[in-house]
Structure 1
């Protein structure tokens, strides 16, 4: 059950989806420069869920092992950002990013580096855009590449005592005619989500004020 003080209203969810879509379109533009090919990215849905629910959502959709790029962020709201792919998709992404001319062994060898770089571009674009549009700034750590299932990535412990919630975003990628699906997740504690909700309300008020 999401506490009422941090449950997003429809308007807040729409505003956040719009902000994140601007962020991923900037990421797509950066990736296009990196790989010299059209990159399409979109975020069709955003949900605020518990860590357990996030792990379950991803395990219902993905049977393959998962690979993720993780970066922590700090500022007026803090947390941990993850860019998650099914492992099979991650190799497709590396092939796209590296031009598709590498042998299978070379792709595996370069996977870590290419994923960290791609994750850095996408997560930084999303978070920097969010911060910028909400008139705040965030600091991010360097990217780390992790492997594991949803429970590991979402830090679900057996006792079920994890604090905080997950902002869970499904993303569609199309790179070099390859369909690559993935997820962005932001693990945040309740005070950070409450701050984000307040900042979204300020953002909505400024936009409505401009339109009035």
Structure 2
């Protein structure tokens, strides 16, 4: 059950979806320069769920192992951002980023570096835009590449009663006519999500004020 103080209402969810879509479209233009080809990114839906539900949402869709790029962020709201791909998609992404001219062995060798760079571009684009539009600033750590299941990526402790919450974003990629899907997850605690909700309300008031 998501506590009331952090449950997003429809207006807040729409505002956040719009902000994140601006962020990923900026990330897409940076990726376009890396890939030298059209990159389309969109975030069709955002949910706030607990860690177990987030892990389940991914495992229901992806039967293979996952690859994730992780960056921690801190500021008025803090947490951990993950860009997650099914493992098969991650190699497709590397082929797209490297121009598709590498041998299979070279693709595997390049995978770590290319994923870290791609994750950095997308997560930074997303979070920097969010912070900017909410009139705040965030600090981010360097990207790390992780592998595992949803449960390991979300660091679920089976013995723990308390759980962190996840801002869970589906993300659709189209790169070089390749169908690459992925997810962005932001693990945040209740105070951080409560702050985010307040900042979204301020943003909505500013936008309504300008429109009005």
TM-score band, normalised by the shorter chain?
Answer: over 0.9
| Dislocated runs of 4+, deviation >3 Å | 160-163
The normalised TM-score by structure 1 is 0.99
CA distance in 2, matches of 1:78, 1:163: 16
Q: Deviations over 1:31-61 (max 9, x none)?
A: 0011110000000000000000000000000
Return 5+ residue gaps in structure 2 as ranges: none
1:158, CA displacement in angstroms?
Answer: 1.0
SS at match of 2:155: coil
1:165 corresponds to: 165
1:162, CA displacement in angstroms?
Answer: 4.4
The normalised TM-score by structure 2 is 0.99
Q: How large is the Cα RMSD of the aligned pairs?
A: 0.6
Q: Deviations over 1:172-195 (max 9, x none)?
A: 000000010000000000000000
Matches within 5 A, 1:1-212: 1-212=1-212
CA distance in 1, matches of 2:96, 2:161: 40
SS at match of 1:155: coil
Tell me how many residue pairs correspond in the alignment. Answer: 212
Return 5+ residue gaps in structure 1 as ranges: none
1:159, CA displacement in angstroms?
Answer: 1.4
Q: Deviations over 1:108-153 (max 9, x none)?
A: 0000000000000000000000000000000000000000000000
CA distance in 2, matches of 1:113, 1:82: 16
CA distance in 2, matches of 1:135, 1:122: 20
SS at match of 2:63: coil
CA distance in 2, matches of 1:81, 1:35: 23
